[in-house]
Chains A and B, each alone.
Chain A
Amino acid sequence: MSFWRHRRREADLEEEVRSHLEMAARERAERGEKEEEAKRAARREFGNVELVKEVTRDRWGRRWLENLYEDARFGLRVLGKSPGFTAVAILTLAIGIGANTAIFSLLDGLELRNLPVPHPEQLVRFGAHIPGNDYAALSLPMFQELSRGQKVFSGTFAWWPDIVFDAEIDGSLARADVWGVDNNFYRELGAVPEVGRLFDSEDENLSANAAAQVAVLSYGFWQSRYGGAADVIRKTLKIDGIPFTIIGVTRKGFTGLSAYMEMDVTLPLPARQLFGGEADMQKYLQRRAARWLQAAGRLRPGVTLEQARAQLGSLWPEIRQEMVPPDKTFADLGRFRDLQLKVESGAIVLAISGLVLLVACVNLANLMLARAASRSHEMAVRAALGAGRARIVRQMLTESVMLSVAGTLAGWVFAHWASHGISDFILGEIYSVPAALNLAPDWRILGFAAGMAILMGVLFGLAPAWRATQEDPNVALQHGSRTLGKGTSRLGRRLIVTQVALSLVLLMGSGLFVRTLKKLRDANPGFRTHSLLDVSLHPKPNGYKDLDLVNYYRQLTDRIADVPGVESSGMMRAIFGNVLEWTERIRITGSDAEGLEADFEMATPGFFETAGITLLQGRKFEWQDDDHAPGVAIVSQNFAQKLFRNDNAIGRRLDVMNARNWRNLKIIGVVSNASLYDIRKAQTPTVYLPSTQYKDFMGWPELLVQTSLPPAAIADALRRTVESQGREYVFSIKTVRQNIDRSILQERVTAMLSAFFGALALLLAAIGLYGLMAYAVTQRTREIGIRMALGAKRSSVLRIVLREVIVLVGTGVGIGLPCAFAATRLIDHMLYGVSPNDPVTVACVVGALLAVGVLAAYLPARRAMRIDPMVALRCE
């Protein structure tokens, strides 16, 4: 290493100078001078040895390396001497950098990271949706028409999204994420087989009624279930009891349409008909209005998203006309990205975590300032001893960079830990299967955050050092720390005020999110949220064949009601608290009104008692309301009021506008209001139809069970009861509370993250205030001593210190509040039940900041009170 070369060169120079001096002395001695005299004269003649060495070394170049080593060694010693400062600075940096990196990495992993396919930016998803509802899909005929007519894509492809099935492999059962894809799917996504082949046109004939029973496995599934055995091809795998022959395995790293979900097993598109659900699956899949397909296309080169939207949009009216059901608009064309969390929420979290970095930087700046001020004496000494300004500045720079590097490393560890914790929490809630998410902390983000931190450290570390070296060392030395002036520098105070203001904005945000969550948790959705279980049933293959579903359901509900611990039970079609709400447009039979958008549900007898929705008027559904009986409906009170004002709703008739057969339904009952799907909404008008009258909708039921027993205690009994019927098996058992919690996931994540960041900000503010006050007290030791010698009481000393803190915090609050009010208006739409200027939140936040300030000042204040006047006056 050049370092060793440098050392040798240094020794060489030393010896060269010594030999010079010795030779000069010897010559003088030979001329007759006394030995001692000769040595001294030789030295005098030579001049300043160290200076000569110094200017000679300058010719070597590469001096910076040696200086760097020296600076670093000295810096380490200095930092080691004040472990408190070092720890706080590194911690501050780690929190700021780590939190940011974690959040960015997580969002990146979830949605920003490109799909592992070629040119993901060309992929455009298209589908029809009902306004106000995010669910967009196409029927098979719609997809075929659009694919035929489109001119903007080089290719289109379709799939049905994942369904978790039981997969039987060599006699053992496992869960598998199963997708159905058309034969363009793999080609358009640029996938290649690891072994075997992927689907081609032989495997899929959309018009033929039979589906080829072949399957493609993902690399991950192949590895975990078959140990990567090459002879997997032509083996048989049973999905829900139906055999499929394995024809290929996709290459490692291909995750298909989502960056974070595995496609364990893919089947040809028509295989969907092999799995039950609807009474006549084959017919259902061909139905023009049955939207069960997801579709996407790859843009031709040079075609923009807007052009694609326009071209497909021009095709749409005609296709929609053919497909009939009115009122579906074609709007959902978006860049292909899998948005699980809404971007909106992500942006807010980003802003919050950015604010944390800012607070951390301000804190760091303050620390560096206080430190630089306390070292001005040292700097003056060094300047007096001949250190150049550049040398001193370089020393400070080295120390700042060392702190920043240490902080970045700690932040990286923190980011790693935090992003995994957060993603486990979020994804664990969304999928029961572990998600394959790439969460490696993003280097760009880490670099950016670290760069910010280094810049702050450098700026605020250097500025005072620079100023110190410009002062006359003599003046600085005489000053020492004997001044009586204000202990705290003006810049330091400003920084503290800024920090308090920023923390306040952050805390206001997190306070509002936490209150929103609390309100949502406490919100009364109008149905029972406790002691209620939602049992998802899954029909076995051919489980419903030749079955009178009405009778069967009645029998099943009775059996379930007999299970010990069950108070009541009923069945429904759509899950409570489901993000995919079921809404329909409904009007009075015979009118041509626009109709009323209402939440929609199909239920069996027993549903209302179990759900805790009370009957106000008329009667509930009976088992006699089957498909032979006239169509009936039950409506919520607010629905009745909206449509019939003060008239009696019982006996009136309704049409469901999008369904041709759901006409002339007689209202037989009015029930209490509820928000079945989205508890954020004020209780929405709701219409209930009896499932027993719509056999097409009786597959895939949800069993609602009211029980006072804990879910774990009763789950086995429920499972056994369902499976003893031999028709279905239990897919999942969840409490309705869990479903609701899942539906407010976004609020929970936001509240959790922002509370986390709020706590960090508060902690940082406390550290900052404590540091500043401790420093101020030390600086004012002499002043306090004089005051006490002159008779000031201890309590008045305490008052002086506390007053300073309260003034600082008060100023910060005064500046921060208007900013906070402006900022919270931006998140108004994310709040529920609290106003952006919520006085409770304001009071709590201001109180917390004051408390933290007083607490941070208390320790230094106590020290100040204990100052012995005599010691204080004599010290220094």
Chain B
Amino acid sequence: MEGLIRGKTVGEKTQRYQNRIEILQGTLDLLILQTLQWGPQHGYGISVAIRNRSGELLQVDTGSLYPALHRLEKQKWIKAEWRISENKQRAKFYQLTAAGKKQLTRERSKWSQLSDAIAGVLQPEE
């Protein structure tokens, strides 16, 4: 639903602007859950992690990130907790729950099926 996200908008380099990739509908949940698998993280941390791991290709819009986080929390796939970050700042850290881990497995297999299917379609016919 809200997973469809615009790329970056203003003030970035033209190069990046052209390389932007829209995050496919439904994949944001997967990205968030996957990011949280490496440990609890706050909203900003999650967006930075996704950007860095995608080689700056995937940019998560805050207008999608925060609604998604709050929705996942409501679905009890992640839980939140106020903690002090490395640089001594109070931040809301999200953490995977047991249900969230299961959900991640489901989402991953769905994703690999999807990418296999797309790859199949894209393969030149022999």
Q: Do A and B come from one complex?
A: yes
Collect the chain B residues with CB atoms within 8 Å of residue A424's CB.
none
Please state if B67 and A23 are interface contacts (CB–CB under 8 Å).
no
Q: Contact check: which of B10, B43, B44, B70 meets A59 at CB < 8 Å?
A: B70
Q: How far is the CA of A48 from the CA of B63 in the complex (A)?
A: 8
Q: Contact check: which of B10, B63, B70, B90 meets A19 at CB < 8 Å?
A: B90
Which B residue's beta carbon lies closest to that of A20?
B44
Q: Contact check: which of A20, A26, A27, A53 meets B43 at CB < 8 Å?
A: A20
A20-B62, A23-B45, A59-B74 given. 13 additional CB < 8 A pairs?
Answer: A15-B92, A16-B43, A19-B44, A20-B43, A24-B44, A47-B61, A48-B63, A55-B63, A56-B66, A58-B67, A59-B67, A60-B74, A61-B74
Collect the chain B residues with CB atoms within 8 Å of residue A51's CB.
63
Which B residue's beta carbon lies closest to that of A27?
B48
A530 CB–B CB distance under 8 Å: no
Q: Is the interface of A mostly helix, strand, loop or mixed?
A: helix
Write the residues of chain A forming the contact surface with B, with a CB cutoff of 8 angstroms: 12-13, 15-17, 19-20, 22-24, 26-27, 41, 44-48, 51-53, 55-56, 58-61
B116 CB–A CB distance under 8 Å: no
B30 CB–A CB distance under 8 Å: no
B39 CB–A CB distance under 8 Å: no
Collect the chain A residues with CB atoms within 8 Å of residue B124's CB.
none
Q: How far is the CA of A564 from the CA of B91 in the complex (A)?
A: 104
B25 CB–A CB distance under 8 Å: no
- Docked complex: B51-89 residues within 8 A CB-CB of A: 61-63, 66-67, 69-71, 74, 85, 87, 89
Given contacts A16-B66, A60-B70, contact A23 B89 (CB under 8 A): yes
Please state if A19 and B89 are interface contacts (CB–CB under 8 Å).
yes
Collect the chain B residues with CB atoms within 8 Å of residue A26's CB.
87, 89
Collect the chain A residues with CB atoms within 8 Å of residue B42's CB.
16, 19-20, 23
Given contacts A60-B70, A60-B74, contact A47 B90 (CB under 8 A): no
Collect the chain B residues with CB atoms within 8 Å of residue A15's CB.
90, 92
Collect the chain A residues with CB atoms within 8 Å of residue B85's CB.
19, 23
Which B residue's beta carbon lies closest to that of A19?
B91
The count of residues in chain B whose C-beta lies closer than 8 Å to any C-beta of chain A is 24
Collect the chain B residues with CB atoms within 8 Å of residue A53's CB.
66
Collect the chain B residues with CB atoms within 8 Å of residue A45's CB.
11
Q: How far is the CA of A26 from the CA of B69 in the complex (A)?
A: 23
Q: How far is the CA of A61 from the CA of B71 in the complex (A)?
A: 10
Collect the chain A residues with CB atoms within 8 Å of residue B90's CB.
15, 19
Q: How far is the CA of A61 from the CA of B73 in the complex (A)?
A: 12
Q: How far is the CA of A23 from the CA of B10 in the complex (A)?
A: 20
Taken residue by residue from 1 to 14, chain B's Cβ proximity to chain A (1 for < 8 Å, 0 otherwise) reads as: 01000000111000
CB distance from B73 to the nearest CB of A (A): 8
CB distance from A66 to the nearest CB of B (A): 15
Collect the chain B residues with CB atoms within 8 Å of residue A23's CB.
42, 44-45, 85, 87, 89, 91
CB distance from A832 to the nearest CB of B (A): 74
Collect the chain A residues with CB atoms within 8 Å of residue B89's CB.
19, 22-23, 26
CB distance from B94 to the nearest CB of A (A): 10
Q: How far is the CA of A51 from the CA of B67 in the complex (A)?
A: 11
Q: How far is the CA of A47 from the CA of B45 in the complex (A)?
A: 17
A–B Cβ pairs within 8 angstroms, 21 of them: A12-B92, A16-B42, A16-B43, A19-B42, A19-B44, A19-B85, A20-B62, A23-B42, A23-B87, A24-B44, A26-B89, A41-B11, A45-B11, A48-B63, A55-B2, A55-B66, A56-B67, A56-B70, A59-B67, A59-B70, A60-B70
Collect the chain A residues with CB atoms within 8 Å of residue B69's CB.
56
- Docked complex: B1-53 residues within 8 A CB-CB of A: 2, 9-11, 42-45, 48
CB distance from A267 to the nearest CB of B (A): 75
Q: How far is the CA of A16 from the CA of B61 in the complex (A)?
A: 15
Collect the chain A residues with CB atoms within 8 Å of residue B44's CB.
19-20, 23-24
Which B residue's beta carbon lies closest to that of A49?
B62
Collect the chain B residues with CB atoms within 8 Å of residue A55's CB.
2, 63, 66-67
